[in-house]
Amino acid sequence: MPELRVHGGTDGGRRLKTPKGIRPTQGVVKEALFNMLAEEVEGALVVDLFAGSGALGIEALSRGAARATFVERDPGAAAILRQNLEALGYLDRATTVRADALRWLSGRPPEVARAGLILLDPPYQDPSLEAALIALDQQVADDALVVAEHARREQMPLLRRLRPLRQRDYGDTRLSILRAAA
C-alpha cells in the first residue's frame, strides 16, 4: 500500500498512519480534490464522515480550515486518527466522534448545519453513500459544499437541495462535488 501523506498546506509532505482494512484516498485524488476546492477550504468548518485515518479532514486543516469534526465508528481507525491529529498538532482544531456516521447524522448534529465543507468517503458499493447524502440534503447550510468519494459506477441519488457542481473520475474512483441550494 502506498504511503499516506498530507499533500498541501502547512503540513504538506508529513506522513499519516493508516488503519488496517481501510482504503485511504489515493494521493492523486486527494490533491485533485483540494485543488478543485481551492479557496473554499480557508477558514471553513469541516465535517469528515467515514473518516478512517482522517486524511481528508487533515488535508483541509493543513490547507487552512478553521476546525474539523471527524466521525469514525471503528475503534482502531479512531485511535489512529487521533494519533495523526496529535502528531500534527491539530487536536485544538479537531473534534473526534466515535460513532456510526449514519446514526450520528440521524441525531441532526449542529456541526453539520454549521459546516461549510462536508467530506464523505464511505466504503465503495455500500448503501451508506445514498443514506448519508439524503440525510445531508436535509441538514446542510445553504451554500455548503458536500464532497463524496465513491465508486464510479455508483449513482448519486436524486436530492432536493444538493446540486451537482462537478464530477471527476480517477480510475474506479469518482469525486462528486455538490452545493446546497437555498
Contact residues for 39 (Cβ-Cβ < 8 A; gap 6+): none
Give the predicted TM-score (pTM) of the model. 0.93
Q: Residue 82's pLDDT band (boundaries 50, 70, 90)? A: very high
Residue 99 class from Cβ within 10 Å (0-12 exposed, 13-18 middle, 19+ buried)? middle
Q: Residue 22's pLDDT band (boundaries 50, 70, 90)? A: low
> Tens digit of pLDDT for each residue in 94-134?
999 999 999 999 999 999 999 999 999 998 888 999 999 99
> Tens digit of pLDDT for each residue in 131-145?
999 999 999 999 999
The whole-number pLDDT of residue 96 equals: 97
The whole-number pLDDT of residue 1 equals: 46
How much is the average pLDDT of 45-59? 96
The whole-number pLDDT of residue 23 equals: 67
Which contacts qualify for 161-166: CB closer than 8 Å, 24 or more apart?
161/137, 162/133, 162/136, 162/137, 166/36
Q: Are 134 and 152 in contact (CB under 8 A)?
A: no
The whole-number pLDDT of residue 5 equals: 86
CATH says 4-180 is which class? Answer: alpha beta
Locus of grid cell 479537531: 94
